[in-house]
Structure 1
């Protein structure tokens, strides 16, 4: 493109006019205060498919989130989202790990938390995510909540010890959770003893491998119940449950309602 004009930075005067910082801060505060809740900055994450945003108040209740949070948990609008906590959406052991991080931020012990965690994608399948959390402060500087962003791990993060140790197991669980997968065979394939695998899962996720497998099956069942009209018996078999009775028992324990009731509420 020989005729293209090269972009040049705008010339600025050598000396900028004096701008009183206090006045500018007040102008920004006024402008931010005028923004409608539905127009806050979290909405930009709806257009960044690899990123997920959330913000919670000091009591751990979700206040705002990007669209992917709604998709992950089968929520339809703000009325479904606002007020939910990690314990409403995740198994207790995982929720406790999330809220433990929040408490450190709320207490001021740390200013940022970054870690590699396991979440679930739109199909209810396990997937890694890099989570960054920061405290939210009010106009007086008091911590009044927590906000966070999730993104897929990059090449460097995939070298973390936890990722290397468990990635093979997670990959197998992701693809074969609907079959007759056993923890014994999984540990053998990964070159670990059952006890070593249990320790790794417990340390990283706060779950045993068996609990993780059940959570994966339940999460996948939630996706099928929301997106299809397949009979419960078919969904139970597709997700690896021995029978519909076992499916109902585990589903109610993790979700709080029966599969049939969940399916009716989703359609």
Structure 2
């Protein structure tokens, strides 16, 4: 070996770069460890996003929607009621409204109020709202880094370039995981860790119902899909979801109706049939009881305000 070759081989053994490893650690996700698997089974749909400059008389009357919402405050203050929680939201605060949760808001008029609203769904097994299952905080104070994600969601929603909903879903996922990773102490999972196993048992039953929403689905068929008895299925539903299989099926059908009302131009009769409602008067009563207004009123008001 030549002398020059020896020198070259010695240099080859020396590191040529230094890998950065001085990043701040993430907080310990103690309350969420049992739920780490949900991110592989979660489906996210980005619906739309809008930024609103709110006048002093602005308010949101009590309502509940079939989708989840994230509000990001740019300037000013507003008082919100989300379920039983009352929150004063300030600049750089993030608010989360789970699906179907009653909420309202009013402007505190001493200064201008600007807020962005991101409408989306984030569901486990296509049917369970992730915000409810994981006990997402309704109020995440001072998260300015979320602002860049929100601004890009606003741009996507306004201009709708190719693939806008797919990229929007990725950005909503980023927003959700940012809160999970940076503020895990704020989470209060709705179910106990033992419910993880129960949810996995229920998955085939939930999926069967999802695939046959437009048909007559029986509790017996759902139990067969989950390979358990009807009695055991009912117990699991009440333990994990807080309702009977029949009640859950009605809720899921109404949820899909509300989605189709706001995302399609299909006539109401066709939507009701697609979601398994063949008795229109009964369907109207159920919908009004669930959302506080008729399907036609719901469709008209879907994109007004926030």
User: Could you state the TM-score of these two structures normalised by the residue count of structure 1?
Assistant: 0.50
Higher strand share: 2
Q: Which has the higher contact order (CA 8 A, sep 6+)?
A: 2
User: Could you state the TM-score of these two structures normalised by the residue count of structure 2?
Assistant: 0.44
Higher helix share: 1
